[in-house]
Amino acid sequence: MKKNPALVSLVHLGCARNLIDSELILGRMAEEGLVITDDATNAHTVVLNTCSFIGPAREESENAIRDLVKRKEQGEIARVVVAGCLVQRYKHDLAARFPAVDLFAEISDYKQLARSVRALTEGQGTPKYLEGPLERAAEREGARLVSTPKSYAYLRVSHGCDHLCSFCAIPSIRGKHRSKPLADVVGEARELAASGTRELVLVAEDSTAWGRELGMELPDLVEALAKVEGVARVRVMYAYPNRFPWRLLDVMKEHGNVAPYLDIPVQHIATPVLRAMRRHGSGDQVRQILDRLRAEVPNITLRTTLLMGFPGETDADAAEAAAFVGEYRLARLGAFTYSPEQGTPGWDLPGRVPADVAQARYQAVIDARDAVLRAEQRALVGKDVEVLVDESHPDAKTVVGRPVTDAPEVDLIAIVRGSRAKVGDCIMARVEDVDRESNLVCKAAPRR
């Protein structure tokens, strides 16, 4: 059966920030009259939004390109479009390696991308590459097809990063930091809330840098978002420890819908490693920041990230990191092993850690986290927690959601039996058990 040439599917890879890009691409394509389908096997044209943050992400993106090219060669799809971070970084190399791809698009103008996709579906000629200044991406982004449940949506507050961490290629991909104007961010928040979104998850390369070139600070934005009608939670992700805007804690305490939660990636705790990473401050300064956060907001949930196996990291440095996780009871923690990134200062550093050693150090950190996490979750058995519903299965009288301690996708969930609540509802649940992955197993409880 001949496929509708206007039928387009998008395959998304990568982080929450990249998901917003995917949603913007979808929104722009819908504006161009293209028909969006979730079923990539049914589409005439497939757009792949790639990730290039670390080696495994690049490998996943390249494998996805190979798969789409193979499907095109077999006649399953007609057009392949590759967009996103991988293109921003390796555009011409990709074109040489994957000549069957119809269009490569950088991170800049999604409206132009959508027009080019429409031209492809109509059999018109298009340039092989779409490129433009990254500053375009900081302009008001326009239509967006939100793909997350009604319970939450990601809200980007800025683009790019001014830090020069030696392990990170993001500044070369996303450019320098550009804050989105307060009115634009609040306007997007109002649109999301009007459509039923209950939790706003703020994302950026460095959310704490928001507003510096505007004469404002992140607390000003968070306070404005907390006042948007219908918003039950505002959650801050990707906070950078250096130059932390401490007034944000006052906003947390003053507004009940600002989650007492902070994602603050510290990357390591051993001072020699932090210096090699070109991170600001020492291990002691990182500890002081975490101590102050917990002293000022005793019920705060801290999420962080550790990068293990960086060049020059010693056994003692790795042991300090694992001990730090236990000492500071970091139950919400992501960890990675170092991936050498060409073009970054870390690429040429001596003292590379063997892959098996880095993996063992990573596992020690994860084991330390899991021990803390399980103990903290077990301590909730018999207690009531408020859960924001992300999934509802009314026939089974079961819902799945998250307490305020957990961000979507990266943290934990609560499974609540005996409830037919709708997605976006906030319900009370009594914790009865903890499953193998440390998720809460609950029953519905009356609100007191």
- DSSP class of residue 348? G
Q: What is the pTM of this model?
A: 0.93
Residues 6+ apart with CB under 8 A from 394: 420
For residue 14, the model assigns a pLDDT of 87
Nearest CA to 17 out of 171, 158, 172 is that of 158
Q: What is the dihedral of CA 69, 71, 76, 79, to 10 degrees?
A: -10
Helix axes 355-378, 315-327, angle to 10 degrees: 10
For the chain, domains (ranges, CATH) are: 7-136 (3.40.50.12160), 384-445 (2.40.50.140)
For residue 95, the model assigns a pLDDT of 87
Q: Are strands 199-203 and 233-236 parallel, antiparallel or unpaired?
A: parallel
Gap between the Cα atoms of 202 and 159, Å rounded = 12
For residue 215, the model assigns a pLDDT of 96
Q: What is the distance between the terminal CA atoms of the chain, rounded to a whole angstrom?
A: 58
Q: Are strands 414-417 and 398-402 parallel, antiparallel or unpaired?
A: antiparallel
Q: What is the dihedral of CA 148, 151, 155, 161, to 10 degrees?
A: -80
For residue 19, the model assigns a pLDDT of 93
Q: Render pLDDT for 139-197 as a digit per residue (tens, 0 to 9).
A: 546 688 999 999 999 999 999 999 989 998 888 888 899 999 999 999 999 999 999 99
Strand partners, 306: 267, 335
Gap between the Cα atoms of 420 and 417, Å rounded = 9
Q: What is the pLDDT along the chain (448 residues), one digit of tens a residue?
A: 456 778 899 999 988 888 999 999 999 999 999 999 988 888 889 999 998 888 888 899 999 999 999 999 999 999 999 998 999 888 778 989 999 999 998 887 788 889 999 998 888 877 787 776 655 555 546 688 999 999 999 999 999 999 989 998 888 888 899 999 999 999 999 999 999 999 999 999 999 999 999 999 999 999 999 999 999 999 999 999 988 999 999 999 999 999 999 999 999 999 999 999 999 899 999 999 999 999 999 999 999 999 999 999 999 999 999 999 999 999 999 999 999 988 888 999 999 999 999 999 999 999 999 999 999 999 999 999 999 999 999 889 999 999 999 999 999 999 999 999 999 999 999 999 999 999 999 999 988 6
Amino acid letter, 196: G
Helix axes 283-296, 315-327, angle to 10 degrees: 10
Gap between the Cα atoms of 58 and 169, Å rounded = 12
In the block, tokens 């949603």 appear at 23
